Amino acid sequence: MDGNPVPAAGPVPVAGPVPAGPTAPPDGNGGEAARAYRPGYELVAERILQLIAESRLRPGDRLPTENDLAAQLGTSRTVVREAVKILSALGRVSVQKGRGLYVADDEGMPGSSRWGRFFLPTDLEHVYRLFEFRRIQEVAAGRLAAARATPAQLRAIAAAAQTCREGHETGRRELFDRGDDDFHISVAAASHNPFLVDAVREARRLQRQSSTIGLHGTVGGHAEEAVAEHAAIYRAIRDGDQEAAALAVTAHLDNTLEDYRREIRRRVFG
């Protein structure tokens, strides 16, 4: 579209009804594989993102009302509302009281970006490509950090790694996640390249969308290994070993991607 709102009363092509609750378990033959593990509001959130991408909606464009979306998707308004809450929290949809639903605009929503307009958090191909991108940028950041990190930046990296460790050891997922974010951003900051910092931050935001919408926030089965991998990255940067830093970052991201694959297989095949 060319910046024009989608008429709330007009039909928007969104295929297939969505169940109001979680989808049925697999039938044992893989027939329900791709959707068996997904609750209804996650499916609706995915459909809304598909609508935005396929209709080429831009920031500020109006979406159909919750009632219209519910009718078009063959689900309840309650499920649509839950999906909208998720998308709003992730910075993809703006809920304007008395006006309706809009595609989040870059200035008006925290964390909104050009990348988010085409990224589908539940599209596995998108997730794999995102990890491919992360590998390129974070390996470069690790190499540069090993050459450029200041003592203060080394302390910030070490502190973030320790926060991650404490989160894992105490079973506090929110603490682990905060430390993980701080660790990767601190490594990028130590590269002294602001473009890498922004790229790392944005790629991690999109990855969180995949975890929240597609996997219900459960990814993280290799937390213990991640703690050890963070320590290896820190040591390489501290020692100024650029090659070791690049290898450690590569191993960490590859293992994180494998964690996603394992969780997907577990949910699909049991």
**pLDDT for 146-189, tens place per residue?**
999 999 999 999 999 999 999 999 989 889 989 999 999 999 99
Confidence of residue 117 (pLDDT cuts 50, 70, 90): low
Distances (CA, A) of 174 to 145, 178, 206, 209, 263: 26, 6, 17, 15, 19
Mean pLDDT of the 34-49 span: 70
* pLDDT value of residue 122: 63
User: Which part of the chain is CATH 1.20.120.530?
Assistant: 119-269
Whether 20 contacts 44, CB under 8 Å? no
User: CA 67 → CA 11, 17, 73, 156, distances in Å?
Assistant: 12, 14, 10, 48
Contacts of 28 (CB under 8 A, 6+ apart): none
Pair of tokens at residue 206: 């999109």
Please report the sign of the dihedral spanned by the C-alpha atoms of residue 163, residue 168, residue 171, residue 177.
positive
The C-alpha atoms of residue 47 and residue 31 are separated, in whole angstroms, by 21
Q: Are 93 and 49 in contact (CB under 8 A)?
A: no
Give the residue with greater pLDDT, 25 vs 93: 93
Cα→Cα distances 164→29, 89, 146, Å: 39, 23, 21
Q: Which of 80-94, 151-165, 219-233 tops mean pLDDT?
A: 151-165
CATH class entry, domain 119-269: mainly alpha
CATH code for the part of the protein at 1-114: 1.10.10.10
Which residues belong to CATH 1.10.10.10 in the chain?
A: 1-114
CA angle 263, 266, 268 (to 5 degrees): 110
Is the pTM higher than 0.75? The answer reads no
